[in-house]
Amino acid sequence: RERTGALYAVAAAQAAADTARSNLVAIARTSYSMPPDHGSAIVKTILGTPDLYDDWRSELDSMRQRLATLRRAFADALGDRWSNSLAIGRQEGMFSLLPVTPADVMALREKHSVYMPTSGRINIAGLKLADVARVAGLFKAL
């Protein structure tokens, strides 16, 4: 149930290429229908072993706290830049949507090497606490 590699078919005629493609799609379909099972085996081991489960919960709580701290720090550093800036600190999850234009995003990319989609979606988890004030300052300067 482990897969790797690639398969290429070269045909002299379109009809032969179409036949080869059809057969390869059928082979791929059966492969995708039986996904690898090592991920679920790892989860079963961690959740079924009290010490490993406790370690996992501790790491999970640590990451959750880190993200909450980053969100609050980023929101505080943004201050009143946008009407909803402080809401960023109360949200959950790895991402937030900032009210920036595609032109703003491109300017941040070109001038400061800040990379994010032009939609304004920022990866809060990708910030370092030591960089929050500087990054927020870039957004405040837009």
Residue 28's identity, in one-letter code, is A
Q: What phi, psi does 84 have (nearest 5°)?
A: -110, 15
Return d(Cα 67, Cα 58) in angstroms, integer: 14
Tokens 């085996």 belong to residue: 41
pLDDT per residue over 57-73, tens digit each?
999 999 999 999 999 99
**Using an 8 Å Cβ cutoff, are 73 and 132 in contact?**
yes
Question: Reduced to 3 states, what is the DSSP secondary structure of residue 128?
Answer: coil
The one-digit pLDDT tens for each residue of the chain (142 residues) are 666 778 889 999 999 999 999 999 998 887 777 777 788 899 999 999 999 999 999 999 999 999 999 999 999 999 999 998 999 999 999 999 999 999 999 999 999 999 999 999 999 999 999 999 999 999 999 9
- Indicate whether this model's pTM tops 0.85: no
Given this model, what pLDDT does residue 62 score?
97
Domain boundaries along the sequence of the chain: 1-36, 50-140
Rounded CA-CA distance 84/91 in Å is: 11
Beta-carbon count within 10 A of 97 CB: 13
Query: 122 by DSSP, 3-state: which?
Result: strand
Nearest-angstrom CA–CA distance, 97 and 110? 20
Residue 127: predicted pLDDT: 96
Q: Assign a CATH topology to domain 50-140.
A: Aspartate Aminotransferase, domain 1 (3.90.1150)
Is 81 within 8 Å of 141 (Cβ atoms)? no
